[in-house]
Structure 1
């Protein structure tokens, strides 16, 4: 059986390509819980998700070379205020597409190849030789369930390319800066300080040339920047939820955990 890349992304413990030879009789179970999210405090976002995600999560950018947008589901590593330990998701919550595509994803089977194959995580417990669930194949043909999964993953890859173009534009104009958020506790004392992420430099944004801003308005980029900026106000709400759930930091978050 061909194997997928060894460097696995967030959530994935293993990855194998879906094929009729090995999985012709396998089925996919429906999902009513997301246990793979329960201990994840930051989940990658595509840029087109900003308007919806900004209503629920602070949106920040990962530090380091691999700059990606992140939806913060908690402020401390291993803390998720929206998903319980058993995987129950808060009602009416927008889940990032990165999480919704699991256990599927497109991956290169060979590093030198440009072709992407539909793969899945066999450890998820969602795909297997079950008597229940939706068939992955009808004989030698992909079922509608598999076609839907493939289409979703293809759309996610395309959104990822648009997200990279968005990040490249921010870097081109040096708009990202190291972020810092200070949250004052109701009972007083020293504030909790969170660092280890990037955010848009609002001063540089205000001083951006008019022709560049006009282009961003026309392309739809500028509203996305403000969705990110406005979403940062949710940091204190996430902090309050952590405290209410008994997941708040017990000591001053200094230096803060990296996002």
Structure 2
């Protein structure tokens, strides 16, 4: 199923979160990695509405099932399957990497439920930052955040702002009741029955056509209508993802995405 990021637990990809500290991590370094093993078994990642125009060229974009849907970039049609990376987590082809993935292992998080202040945190299991790297760039210099941390913090802040715009986008389309339960049926050559995938939501083209003129005008003026069509165009990539899974022997019939 294309599930939304967990609310009560940690978000997708994250297994732990520790606040970055100039005391505890003063000698730590950050290094560049060429593979993302944490993506190997991840079939869907959150994506911001700002990314739709570019991401729709590379991924099917759907919306998670449930009452609080979020947009997701599909990297596979079944849980545990990712056709965009190899077994080591290296990209198989040049492709757009969603900002959510590029942000990992960092994120801004509230340390206390009674405080709205956000702190820069990281997942220590990612093996991207640590105290024992021979290579890498220092996180702190003279007990102050280095350019590395400043850049990471800036990127995380930009992502939070983009996610706020995404939440506003989602409110608009849910208030307009444009989402329906999605279903994709793919009939590969030689197969007795089609492979049917459910468990996600998508925009209804019929409901789009039935909007009143003032409703459509509002979607045009606030920039939402082009994003909806980017989503709809991206669904054509479902068959491409399926074909890659089929070639790898990783398809499962009649399953939820």
Q: What TM-score do you get using the length of structure 2 for normalisation? A: 0.94
Q: Pairwise CA RMSD of aligned residues?
A: 1.3
Q: How many residues align?
A: 250
- Native 8 Å contact 1:59 1:231 kept in 2: yes
Match status 1:75 vs 2:80: no
Quote the Cα distance in structure 1 between the aligned partners of 2:177 and 2:146.
Answer: 46
Aligned position for 1:169 = 172
Q: Structure 1, unaligned stretches of length 5 or more?
A: none
Quote the Cα distance in structure 2 between the aligned partners of 1:169 and 1:218.
Answer: 13
Q: Which runs of 4+ in 1 moved over 6 A?
A: none
- Return the offset for 1:243: 1.2
* Of 221, 229, 235, the match for 2:238: 235
- Return the offset for 1:90: 2.4
- Native 8 Å contact 1:179 1:195 kept in 2: yes
* Of 104, 125, 134, the match for 1:123: 125
Match status 1:44 vs 2:46: yes
- Return the offset for 1:109: 0.2
Match status 1:216 vs 2:219: yes
Match status 1:193 vs 2:196: yes
Q: Structure 2, unaligned stretches of length 5 or more?
A: 1-6
Quote the Cα distance in structure 1 between the aligned partners of 2:35 and 2:249.
Answer: 22
Quote the Cα distance in structure 2 between the aligned partners of 1:19 and 1:11.
Answer: 22
Aligned position for 2:34 = 32
Aligned pairs (5 A) from 1:85-164: 85-129=87-131, 130-164=133-167
Quote the Cα distance in structure 1 between the aligned partners of 2:52 and 2:91.
Answer: 20
* Of 182, 207, 210, the match for 1:207: 210
- Return the offset for 1:6: 7.6
- Return the offset for 1:91: 2.8
- Return the offset for 1:66: 3.0
User: SS of the residue aligned with 1:20?
Assistant: coil
